[in-house]
């Protein structure tokens, strides 16, 4: 079993990560279980930079392998906003309600054919010395609705419509979301490389 720290305190992200990582291969620990873990300042200007900051700084502090991710929403009509500021778009980190409200206001009057957007997920694995050993990413395309719909998921899920399903992430069954989400797409391409690397360093 390979000891791996998941570099997030977001419980809903952890559920997705745990389900997609092979349980017979990894012993998974979360930051919430490690009192000495730190809150890393997300000072990067890209998802890639922030994922690397979260992985390498935590790994150096803990002396353990850390898998971190940075994800967010990019809206074409807003020139890629909210981007790396997705979790704190309205000012306060993690205020989903305020973030969704701000997004709706920013897109007021924008027709549906111009409300295209993408969810992005960037992954970074750091070794215990703080060296980036693996990176990966995945995206999921959709359209921003004009009103919230559905109570599942978190963040911008109630506004993010998957055109093929004519439903928001907030309405979709968890199994469907798990199959098509940006995080699952990133992990599906990342996990085989992760397993190969960990086999070499065991």
State percent of the chain over pLDDT 90.
75
8 annotated as ligand-binding = yes
* Alpha helical stretches, state H, the chain: 11-20, 47-62, 96-106, 174-180, 182-201
Domain boundaries 2-201, corresponding CATH code: 3.90.950.10
11 annotated as ligand-binding = yes
pLDDT, tens digit, for every residue of 11-66? 777 777 778 788 888 888 889 899 999 999 999 999 999 999 999 999 999 999 99
13 annotated as ligand-binding = yes
Q: Could you tell me the pTM of the whole model?
A: 0.92
Look up 70 and say whether it is catalytic.
yes
115 annotated as ligand-binding = no
User: Which of 3, 39, 70, 113 is flagged as catalytic?
Assistant: 70
3-state secondary structure of 114: helix
Domain boundaries, the chain: 2-201
- Of residues 202 and 117, the one with the higher pLDDT is 117
């Amino acid at each position: 079993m390979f000891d791996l720290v998941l570099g997030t305190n977001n419980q809903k992200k952890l559920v997705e990560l745990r389900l997609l990582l092979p349980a017979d291969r990894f012993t998974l620990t979360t930051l919430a279980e490690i009192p000495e873990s730190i809150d890393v300042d997300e000072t990067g200007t890209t998802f890639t930079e922030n994922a690397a900051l979260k992985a390498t700084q935590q790994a150096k502090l803990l002396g353990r392998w850390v898998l971190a991710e940075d994800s967010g929403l990019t809206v074409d009509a807003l020139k890629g906003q909210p981007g790396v500021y997705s979790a704190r778009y309205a000012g306060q980190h993690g205020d989903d309600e305020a973030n969704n409200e701000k997004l709706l206001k920013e897109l007021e009057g924008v027709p549906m054919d111009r409300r295209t957007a993408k969810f992005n997920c960037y992954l970074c694995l750091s070794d215990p010395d703080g060296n980036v050993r693996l990176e990966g990413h995945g995206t999921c395309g959709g359209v921003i609705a004009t009103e919230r719909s559905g109570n599942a998921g978190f963040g911008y899920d109630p506004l993010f419509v998957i055109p093929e399903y004519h439903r928001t992430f907030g309405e979709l069954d968890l199994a469907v979301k798990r199959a098509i989400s940006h995080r699952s797409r990133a992990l599906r391409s990342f996990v085989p490389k992760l397993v190969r690397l960990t086999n070499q360093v065991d």
